[in-house]
Copies of this chain bind each other. A is one copy, B any other.
Amino acid sequence: MTENRQWTIAARPNGRALKESDFALRTGDVQPPRDGEVLVKVLYLSCDPAQKGWMENIGGYMAPTNIGDVMRAGGVGEVVESKSPGLKAGDKVMGQLCWQDYATLPARELEKVEDTGHLSAVLGPLGSTGLTAYFGLSKLGKPFPGDTMVITGAAGATGSIAGQIAKIGGCRVVGIAGGAEKCKWLTGELGFDAAIDYKAGGDIREQIHKHAPHGIDVVWDNVGGKMLDDMLGEIALHARVVICGGISRYETGTNMPAGPQNYFNLIFKRATMHGLLLTEYVSEFSAARARLRQWIESGKIKYREDIQPGLEHAPKTLMRVFTGANMGKQLIKVA
């Protein structure tokens, strides 16, 4: 039998930062596939802030996790053995492969993907990251030529794609990110109109006002807290506020942080705040992916991957997305 390493959930990180002891590494045998199942060798795993919420069973939009479960994660891999007519050895597939070397899953829970040479992209710009940006804008943010969009977590996997789509749509895009290197990437390679380095000090709201003097038409928020309030204070008439994430909240647990004081500005500006969850748009993924692929191939959308090798370092690698250590999409290279 082949050996299979698995990271399980050992503790729930509610109300605090993740730590390595929240996970336990065990080694067992690979589980052979039964009828309808396939055995997949995991190649890349996606690291996303939402995974912490899954460990905490927050939000109720996913099946609950239990202590002892293999840590849930999206991933891409290669079929090594198939007991399903739809898939054969060598096929590349994506799905919830979880933190392990090998996944044994029903074929119907996997999606076959083309291997065009940058396979990991199906976890980033062609996967949940890119699709979140795409639907957050097409369904909720609705950028219109001439609009000004301000993005927090702008150098992150989702924010960076959202900003580039808005640029394709003729918008002025301002990104907020931590550190000079990230900001330089936004205004340089990605073509953002301006970037605000929140780590450089200075009043964020003043800087937003300077870069969006006529108000923000589309807010894209990955952070929450003071930054969301600063943006809400600067919205334009009929602004659309897309709540994509709230990285500043994820370690607070039941000691819930204050919400946006400036939500009342939604009245004065006749504006709208939307919650964004990708699962909403599953039926339209295929059409969206085709557009994203075209934009990537034509160079209109650029992306970076932050690939950390080694399943054994999975906890540390996931922790990077909560400190902003990652530059672009955070991935674990398993094999």
Contacts and interface: CB of A to CB of B under 8 A. Distances in A.
Contacts of A273: 263, 266, 272-274
Interface stretch (A104-112, A168-176, A275-283): A275-283
Interface residues of A, number: 34
Copies of this chain, complex-wide, total 2
B280 A263 contact: no
A59 B243 contact: no
Interface stretch (A68-76, A200-208, A252-260, A297-305): A252-260
A147 to B, nearest CB: 18
A1 interface: no
A275 to B, nearest CB: 3
B59 A259 contact: no
Given A243-B264, A259-B261, A259-B263, A272 B275 contact: yes
Contacts of A276: 267, 270
A246 B264 contact: yes
A275 B268 contact: yes
A275 B280 contact: no
A65 to B, nearest CB: 15
A273 B272 CA distance: 6
